[in-house]
Structure formats: structure tokens, C-alpha cells
Structure 1
């Protein structure tokens, strides 16, 4: 056999022992083969001997096969004779209710089970009742420790607590019995699973709201959350509608606080009810005539929020038909400081019913607008939240608007001499509100954006090198001050901060002097990894783009090994530092550079005190 001839030698014994050992195992077969070739091959006078030889090989093969099957299927465990079970005492469980599980076990074998434990795998939302814990149970490990289980013996234990989970969803609770047969070292494990589907919840939610909505308008809404359980509930939250076009605003609550997106209740005592009142604001597509949505409260248990019983809500949607259309007179692609462009806002009744009590809201939060001058040049009133309001008191055409009719209001928009803030465009969003006769208590609204491009962006580049952190932790390695012929490792930091507009194709480049080594230790906050070019000692990094006011950081290790020519100097560690990008609004390239950074450690007072000049 070629396997024997090739691998059963001294060379493979030391260099490829696994192949040598395989050749050694099959060497008896090879020996028999060679014996056969020498004495019996093409020798018919030995046919009788060959027959017995073949039969011997056949029976040997059968014996080996039978032995292999026996070894494979032989089970020395007593798993089939040991049982473990877990079941809830309650037939109907609510999320948040007190629940007790009974765990039972039995040893029907003739072996003593030693080192026996029962581990319980509980859902994250199961809060143990410490007052009812079994003395054999470790709450930290969720483990029951048992005494030796004698043949024919059995037992049970209980675990109780408050069970929080998503209602009507399967939850798995597992009891795992592990033990060793007396006199054996092998651990045997048997598990049993219990499925729990919680029906309803102790946290009840009810909603009072009209089942008819305007496609664009507001409707009063009232939400009640009640704790029907026997324990206080901590950190309850109710996320508002996930449906596009529906928002709850102008909220008032007797428990907790509410924002535009969520109602948060720090704690709700047993049998107490929290109430929220607000306005349901709808801005829906005209093609939508029916909305099926829901509200789902969540309770904070075991470091996570667990959704509770969902309250479905079904609305019929009406569309009275009103549009607001802003348009700039003498529209230009950009605005300049001190300009006074005029914005025309047209309000049209596109429905088939008259509209009344029409009010126009023009938010003026954009810091590019000179609000004081705006109020002087336009008719209306300014609210505390910087919204300019015009109604029938200021313009008689807003008292009633017949179907198919349009009225237009014009506003002079003074631009500040020095606009500030993070806005890279002047964006105004006129909003019109009105009342429909069939729903006199419900207001509806429509909004439309008017946007003009303004100022381009800038890129700010900062760089420094440190040996110690601000807190005094050592970042660098090697002698400080640096010494001739010995390597000192510093950490360099680059911060790239974008201005008011989005920029694309952000590229950072720098160069290392020949006496600076690149260890390769680097971290970036975003974008690709830093690339080091060994041919010209340059480092580079790029990123697809940065949003307004977004920043990126690059941290890199730099190794300095000064030569005699650098004695008494503070050598440059990194130079030719620059950042390039393209402003996506102005389509103009941006370039920012930075002075070289040396070992002066100006931002590292601890390292600076230790020494910066090469010795």
C-alpha cells in the first residue's frame, strides 16, 4: 500500500505524526497483503487456504462492524429512568401577576444520583418573590442544590414571583436536572420545558377618542393607564402612535410627563390610574379613509421594557380639503444676509364645504430671520414660541373661505446680517388651521415647506499629540523626554468637525518624517481604517460624508526614534496635515490644513513637564 510506503518512516514520525500513526494502524493489513502476494497470489494450489483466509477476513470485518455498532449505541446513562417536570399552579396567568411554578423530580433507576442540581431558566421578566424562596435555591445562579437522590425517591420544590411578559406570546421556562451516578465522573443532564402564554396584563389601558378623524386636523383624546396588580409598577412608558401622520400633542397628565412621542410614568401604585389628555393631530394622505392602529404600554423590568396588552384603535378619516402653498417672489437659489425676500402663502379650499375661523401660523425659529424687523413689517401677532399668527382680525379674508376659493397672504422675510446656528438653509413651514361645520369641535390643519439654499459649510481641523491622558493615565511608551536611539511612542488625535451643510468625499492626509515609525495601532470613530503608505510615509483616511455639525476622530500611535541630528530639538511627529471635502449644496470643494505637530506636548501638561526636548 502506498500509504505505508510513503508515511511509515522516521521522517514522518517527527514531522507529520498524525499521518505516521494512520499508516501504523493499517500496517497489519499491509503485512497480510504482502504475505498474500508472496505466498498465494496466482497460486491455485493454495485455493483452500485462501478460502479460509478470506473467511477469516470476512468474520473479522463483521466482528469489527458489530463491535462498532455496540460501542456507538451503548448508553451507560440512566436518563430514561430519571424524570423532571415543571408546571404552573395557576391555570390563567396575567402579565404582572404573582405566579408559582412547581418543579418535581423522580429517580426510578437503581443508582444513587450524587451532586444533583436543578437549574431553572426563567424569562427576563420573571421577578423572584424573595419572601417565598426555597432554602435550597440560589437566586443568583437560579439553581436548586439537592441531596443525594436515592433509587425510587422523588421530590418537588416551588419557585414564585411576578411574571412580566408580552401578553398572548409564548414564553419558555426550563427546568434542567444535572447529576452524576454514584462512582462515575460523567455528568448527565435532563431538561423539561414549560410553555406559558400570558393572557391580558395587570397594566390596563383605555382610550377615549372620536372614531372619526379629519385627514388634517386635531381631535381631543384621553388615555387612562391603571395598575390592577398588587405591586407598584416602575418606569411605565406609552409610546404614541407609530402610524405616519398621527401625533399626540398639547398633552396634560396627572402622572409622569409626556413628550411628542411618549408618555413616561416613573411609578404607578396598585389600584391607581394615570390619565393623559391631549390633542390627536392628523396629517394624512387624501387617499387614506381608514386607519387601524394601536397603543401598547411598556413596563421596565430587569433592565428592559416589556410591552403589555395592546389597545387597538380604528378611525374613519374625513378630508375637508384645504391646501397651503408658499412661493417665493423672484425666487433665487441662495439668499444673502440683509436681503428681504417676499414669501406668498396661498390658502385654497379644495373641499366641498365652507371653512371658517381660518388661522395661519408661520414658525420663525430659524435663526437666519430677523424676528424683530419681521414683526414690524408684517401684520399679525408673535407668540412666545416664535410663531407668527394671522387670523380674521388681521385679514378679513380668513373669516370664511368658500369651496374652490383661494386667498393669498404676503410676508416680507428680513435676513439677519450675520446668520448663526447650524442651519444651512432658510426653511419656513406655513401652517393653516380651520373648522368644518360637521365637526365644530375639531380643528384641522395643513402645512407646506418653503426652502431656499443659503450659506456654505466649513471644515474645522484640530490635532494634538499626547503621552498622558488628561486624568494622568499613561498612553505613550518609552523614555520621556525622548532619547537618542530609543523609541518613544506617542498618541496623536485628529478631530474633523463639519459646519452647517452636508459634505461628501471627506479625505484626510498627513505625512510622517523619516525618523517617525508607524506602529499600526489606530482607531477611527467612523469611516474606513487609516491607510499607511510605506513608500512615501503618508497616512490617509476617507469617509463618504458628514452631516451638519457632525465630527469624526482619528487616534493613532506614533513611534519616535530620534537620531543625533535631533538632539536638543522638539522633532515634528506629523506634518502636511490637511482635510478635503465637497459641499453638497454649493458643489464647492473645501480644504483645511493644520500646522505640523511636534513633541512639544502643548495639550499634555503632565508629559510637557516630564520633558519634550530630545536628549
Structure 2
């Protein structure tokens, strides 16, 4: 269409009227398009403002320190003004995501405000500079956070405020707060006491306030106060006993350590462990329910002690591991059940002791229904327990795991596990000492144990 219009214009105004009509028409077209180009440029320049990158160079970076929660960080703001005009009313702002918190490093005087904003009166033309934030980093471990920084300014030749953004991904994998939860055993009988240990350490350079939250089936608390303070390189250990629930289940303990930062709780460590609650029934087999031997110091009617080795509970829950019966050179683990039944009298200064047979080892796993945990003397291979008193008709249950690795001499199938099994106590009425013993036990299992088949 345009070509047709130009052709008609040429035929009506140039053709036949000028000697060099075609050349003159071409020159007029060049002048026309040049005029349109100049006019378009004037209109464009009257509305166009140079893009931000042509005015400012801006970048955010984190220092060379190893990034870890609770550790010091240096945040660098590098800026430059490449224009020929000064930049006025410059604002440097750090924008943090909700799960990312920093606070001023106490070893440095903070230049930024609490909202992490710094004002710069002017950046001269063709100049560059750097500002730094010295802070303490807090974020959930092993999570990525996108940190954004903004530099806004007003060029001297404009009235509109412009800005440029820079982003940085922060993903610390470690924390200055180190924790460890340990249990004496991962399986227990109902209403027993299981020992636990919780260690928490501050490996950072600053004092820390820490919130401890513990969850257990009967609301056992780890610390008397919900918030503790740890100095740099300070380690604190909490120990105690967990009261096992009264019905079979999988009980869970969880301890969460959090740090309050700027009104937020930032979780740093969650330690959890399960304890399987089991309740094996007593067997009436004479080989398992061993009648107590009476010493000269014991009356005709005395407390009873039951000692047995278990691989399964009567309900079929597996306790042990490895081949049964034990095989030459292979390790088999059993649980030893020691149960003591008192008479209708009070006993004081109650003690239990037994010696592991040659080839048997104490694994450390245990469950005690009353009093403090078992102790083990590695030199004498003696397992012992003490309690101040046992009430009338009361019951004491001691349960622990042992491992056996048969030698050639023990390869006949019968492996000794525990010997010199003894309970002792003082009759609170007569002040007479009672000593109750039980026969040595082997890997022989009661008929109700599936491992005996």
C-alpha cells in the first residue's frame, strides 16, 4: 500500500515535470525519512531515563568466614557510581526472609540501624565504596534462605528515586550449638526407669540464651528452667531417669533446643529417641523360676529371686539378635531378667551383684524398674545395683543385655552367661542381714521363649 502511494505521488508530482525526476524523488524521500528519525529521537529522549545499571553498580556478598548458625558473619555492600552525576539520599537496606535472623555482633559497633538500613548522604561521580555489617547469623540448620539487598538513590539530574537489587543464598549446614541425647536402652519393661543423658555445648564465640523443650509421655523436663545460658565453649550435661509408661507401646522422648533472636525462636537442634515398652510374662518352668537358696543368715521364709535368659518375650517381641543357639565365632545377644520379690517386711540397704561368665559381655543396654541404673566393673566383670530400701511385698526388676561369642570350647551349644547371682538386704525390724542367691544361668531359654524352639 505504501509503495502504491509513493508511486502515485511520483507520477503526479515528479514524472514528466523534471529532467531528473527519479533522482530528485529519491533525494526527497531520504530527507523525509531523516526528518522522521530526528523527530522520533527527540520524542524518545524526552521520555527516556537511563536504566539503573548505567548509573550504579551494586552487589551484596558474605565474608570468607565459614557460615554456621550462631557464628559471626560479615555482609559486604559494594557499590559504584559510574555516571557523571552525584547520587543523593542513598539508602542501603538488607531485606531478610521470615526464617532468617541476624543480630549485631557485640564485638563491633553497629553502623546499620535495627532495621538494617544505612543512610549515605552522597556518592560522588565516578566513585566506588563498601559498607559492612558485622552480625551473628541465625537460621534453621540445613535450610536455604534468599537474602535481598536494595540500594535506592536519587540521581542529581532527576527527581525520581531509583533502586537496584542484589540477592544472595545463605545455606549454613552447621550450628555453634551442638547436642547429643543418649539412652541406656531402647527397650524396657513397663514402669521401669531408663537412664538418659543430654549434652549441650556452645562452640561459638558469644554467650547464648537457649530454650529447652522436652517432650516425654509423663512430661519429664530436662532443665528446671525453660531457658538456660551457655558461655563460649561451655558444655552442660543433664542426666536423669525416664519413668516408662505402664502399658506396652513405643514411647518417644524429644528434646528441642532453640535460640531466641529478635523476638523469634530459631530451632537449632532436635534430638529424639524411641523406647519400646514390653512386658514379658513370668514362666512357671522350674528351669526359669529358680527358687532362692537360703543361707544360714536367712530365715526359713525368705524373699525370692528369679533369674532367666530371654531372646523373645512371651508375646513374641524379639529382644535378642544373632544365631540361637549361639554359633562358633558369631555373636548372639540376649537379655537377662532378674526379678526379686520381697516378703511383707521392710528391707534396708538392698544390694544386687552378679558376675559375667567368661565369654559374656555387658552391652550397656539396661532397664531398671526401681532405683538407680546398674553399674558395671569392667575389671571384675561384676554387675551391681543398690537401693536404700524395699517396701513390704515390693518387687524389683533388673533387666540388661549381654552378648556371647562362643569359642571352640563353648561350641557344644551351652554357653554360661551369669554366675554368683546374689541379693542382700537388712531386715528393718530385726536388723538381720538376708542374703539370697540364685543358680548360675546359661543361654538355656524358657519354653515360652520362641528362641528355645
TM score, norm. by length of structure 2: 0.49
TM score, norm. by length of structure 1: 0.37
- Which structure is higher in RCO with an 8 Å CA cutoff and minimum separation 6? 2
